[in-house]
Structure 1
Amino acid sequence: MKKTELLHSALSRLVATLGHGDKVLVADAGMPAPHGSAVEIIDLALTNGVPDIATTIRVLLSEMQVESHIVASETLARNDAWLSSEWAGRIGSRQVVSHEELKRLSHEARAVVRTGECTPYANLMLVAGVTF
């Protein structure tokens, strides 16, 4: 049995296989996922708000080393509480792009993690770092 907080086997496997610079998009329930590409879709959405994006990111960060993140300007404009959660200081430097650009960048991700979050523009792309 694992000792860390992250129990979801697909997420744990994803983190174990990430390399420096790989991208993971943690997305709300409405974010279109890239179809017909090599991007893995890990669908966690159960119902409205479950799991929420803040919890999903917090648990993912229990195993994932992050050096930076990419967020849409539309997300920042909303100033939602989830983006200033307790883990915000552990996601490195910030790159701001448009929501349309974030959707384009999703095609470069190793995986899209779909949550049950139903807040508009609640999407965050994490860029893997190294622990050394």
Structure 2
Amino acid sequence: MKRRGVLNAELSGVLATLGHTDLLLVVDAGFPIPRTAHRVDLAVTEDLPKLTTVIDLVADEIIVEGVVVAEDVTTHNKPLAEWLGKRFPGVPTTTRQHAEMLNELAHQAKAIVRTGAFNPWGNVGLICGVDVPRWFDEPGVIVPDYYQDRM
């Protein structure tokens, strides 16, 4: 039996497939997931599980180098925007129009994880990265300038 972290077999498997620059969407209960998307449906009932709970668990298992949210989060859902800023300090956050989140990003995501969240604009894209200090720890390997701030 797995001891800790994500116990859901399907979600754990999806996380294991993620590579550098892959996009994982963690979404609310009402997100219109495309039929062609790899869907991991965790929703049980209203706010079970919560969006922030799932993001916390996922973020403990992957490297997140970018966060994407709808523009409306920064103006109309400040609690979520503030929580994301605290959860991912120093990680660049970009915004997209809500329609882009529902369409273009949904089709670009490697997988979409549906939560039970009843949270307006509660759809968060996590862009996967690499553990820079571990990738560049060999003697003689030069760290490029664009990774220096992550060392």
1:78 aligns to what?
76
Shift of 1:130: 0.9
Task: Supply the AA of the counterpart residue of 2:77.
Answer: N
Task: Supply the AA of the counterpart residue of 1:100.
Answer: A
Task: Specify which structure has the higher proportion of strand.
Answer: 1
Shift of 1:9: 1.2
Matches within 5 A, 1:109-120: 109-120=109-120
Task: Supply the AA of the counterpart residue of 1:62.
Answer: D
Shift of 1:2: 2.4
Structure 2 residue matching 1:89: 3-state secondary structure: coil
Taking the aligned partners of 2:124 and 2:60, their CA distance within structure 1 comes to 16
Looking at both structures, which has the greater relative contact order when contacts are Cα pairs under 8 Å and sequence separation is at least 6? Answer: 1
Deviations for 1:65-103, whole angstroms, at most 9, x for unmatched residues?
11101110012212342343352327x211111000111
Deviations for 1:4-54, whole angstroms, at most 9, x for unmatched residues?
32111111111111111110110000110011x2x2000000000100100
Give the gaps of 5 or more residues in structure 2. 136-151
Describe the shift of the 1:34–1:100 C-alpha distance in structure 2 as closer, same or farther (beyond 3 A): same
Describe the shift of the 1:79–1:88 C-alpha distance in structure 2 as closer, same or farther (beyond 3 A): farther
24-33 or 79-88, larger mean C-alpha shift: 79-88
Taking every aligned residue pair, what percent have the same amino acid on both sides? 36
Query: Bigger radius of gyration, 1 or 2?
Result: 2
Matches within 5 A, 1:1-132: 1-35=1-35, 37=36, 39-85=37-83, 86-89=86-89, 92-103=91-102, 104-131=104-131, 132=135
Describe the shift of the 1:88–1:79 C-alpha distance in structure 2 as closer, same or farther (beyond 3 A): farther
2:143 aligns to what?
none
Taking the aligned partners of 2:123 and 2:87, their CA distance within structure 1 comes to 15
Aligned residues: 129
Taking the aligned partners of 1:50 and 1:83, their CA distance within structure 2 comes to 20
C-alpha RMSD of the superposition: 1.5
14-23 or 77-86, larger mean C-alpha shift: 77-86
Taking the aligned partners of 1:113 and 1:83, their CA distance within structure 2 comes to 19
Residues 54, 83 of structure 1: 8 Å contact kept: no
